Structure 1
């Protein structure tokens, strides 16, 4: 089963595509990266615990926005009495199987049982470090949230667990979430798959969330390219109060540059989108690529210094830390 819908400027009837992007790497290129003689994979420590753990309040009312970093790309956003999870992943591995694949190197910054009542989950695309069916199933059973996701990802969700309340939308669709909060799905430079034979059979997206404290631009996965996607978001949705940008999973560059930003790219993306402040994610929890575990944050600081941007404008939290707007 896969998405079945009308042809558009980014769907050819079978697969989605980014008119301003590039196709994902071929299987031959994947094998070259994984088994090539020039590979320099830096091993991560087996366990790197965060010194922080958050117990969120039941609700956050008024104009404040409370963001709690769960880890990797998972966040809890609380504002206007609404509790929103972004790409919720509480599983031990980001993998289709429980016995292999990228394994957590630290606990989630919020224990699952410490979560407040969840109203909405935003799921950006189908890769296993973003769309975690086990976590979505647990959320459905305990909280029954709405799950907002790009076209086609709802198929995998419903097939896994009929109770998942998945709602699928296209790029540029705006969805009212309640409490005066809305989210718009916007194009991002990436791709998706759940297996070997379903590449780009579902859509991928970033999110612009409208809150009382301003708009939050959440980029869960993206290459930089020429920066068009970020400038277009600034033009269509600016001004932005906050951007959440990925800084990890970027080596080797010949393989990763079209799908994942490095810290230098992320700093350019911040300048392009024009957000007042930024938070970093997509690092330090699952080893997906070859760079050392501490490289993304160190290189982010170096890139900010080189661009003469204060480090406090683009902050990398650890799981369990909280940021308030």
Structure 2
């Protein structure tokens, strides 16, 4: 194994997934994935979140890695739930597969977000963050998948092997932010990927439209491609109401949440990440903690929130159950009912009540 492969195997999975590779991303004159005009979030080579912090340096990385405070995780953290979803739902049903992977069933359409069925969130099979629970829906128990939504290219969100399996199984529409098509098709040239920019939309049929919205995050698959592919959140406008799905984001100035409410109204359902947030001084620009997530819920005014991005892959310093404990504290402090913001376990489903 050469030095480059070894570095990827031992360092990239844990650090890139957690958002810590700014110091490795060398200057590069050409974007590896995307060519397009300069915009308010693309400088001609790299994407960025306007007005938000971007990359950490080597000193900050070492301060985190050598600073201690990393809580132990169990080798296994099995979920008590196991879902076998119906083939189709005319209303709205959502189940967490694990981490940021949801099955959204709405208006007869089956949608997967950031599907990861791999054992590790890693470019290699022998190192990197390893799941501590099985996917909450077995791959063979998935209904026919019509659409796959990719939020960004980190290994805990873009699993190329799973995308290929889904493509061979169902030929779903694969939607992703700018540049991510090149990453997928470099490995699997036959997969059709539709890319869009922030503020653009994709008609999925049957009254369902996917809208790509900003998130405060970043991207990288390797050692020289930081922020060369775009990242996003999704808003789904559907006959059953507005669904807001975030894969990863920091809270930042909160404007991304105000923007969603102003453009689409109060969501019926919001998928809000609540994990991978410690140490706070390092993770704050790119990952919300539970208190941030409750603040986001308050701004959005969503009827229901489902917490995810916790308890499957160990990426950062907090313990496996701390996100749930801290969410309970944040909800009490904000006087929000715990039923309104549930931290889901893999295989746990939420069924929307019929609309009047």
TM-score interval, smaller chain: over 0.9
Unaligned runs of 5+ in 1: none
How far apart are 1:7 and its partner, in Å? 1.1
Please give the secondary structure, in 1, of the residue aligned with 2:268: strand
Q: Residues 166 and 27 from structure 1, CA distance in 2 versus in 1: closer, same or farther, beyond 3 angstroms?
A: farther
Q: Distance in 2 between matches of 1:218 and 1:58?
A: 22
Please give the secondary structure, in 2, of the residue aligned with 1:83: strand
Contact 1:137 1:163 (C-alpha < 8 Å) held by counterparts: no
Residues 255-281 of structure 1: per-residue CA shift (max 9 Å, x gap): 100000000010001111121110000
Equivalent runs, 1:73-222 vs 2, <5 Å: 73-222=100-249
Contact 2:93 2:351 (C-alpha < 8 Å) held by counterparts: yes
Aligned counterpart, 1:27: 58
Aligned counterpart, 1:57: 86
Aligned counterpart, 2:281: 254
Q: Distance in 1 between matches of 2:160 and 2:190?
A: 12
Q: Residues 27 and 126 from structure 1, CA distance in 2 versus in 1: closer, same or farther, beyond 3 angstroms?
A: farther
Q: Distance in 2 between matches of 1:21 and 1:217?
A: 21
Q: Distance in 2 between matches of 1:95 and 1:173?
A: 30
Q: Distance in 1 between matches of 2:62 and 2:185?
A: 32
Unaligned runs of 5+ in 2: 1-31
Give RMSD over aligned pairs.
Answer: 0.9
How far apart are 1:5 and its partner, in Å? 1.1
How far apart are 1:178 and its partner, in Å? 1.1
Aligned counterpart, 1:71: 98
How far apart are 1:10 and its partner, in Å? 0.7
Which of 75, 90, 93 is the equivalent residue of 1:46? 75
Contact 2:107 2:240 (C-alpha < 8 Å) held by counterparts: no
TM normalised by structure 2 equals 0.89
How far apart are 1:239 and its partner, in Å? 2.2
Which of 258, 266, 284 is the equivalent residue of 1:239? 266
The runs of 4+ residues in structure 1 deviating greater than 4 Å are none
Please give the secondary structure, in 2, of the residue aligned with 1:240: coil
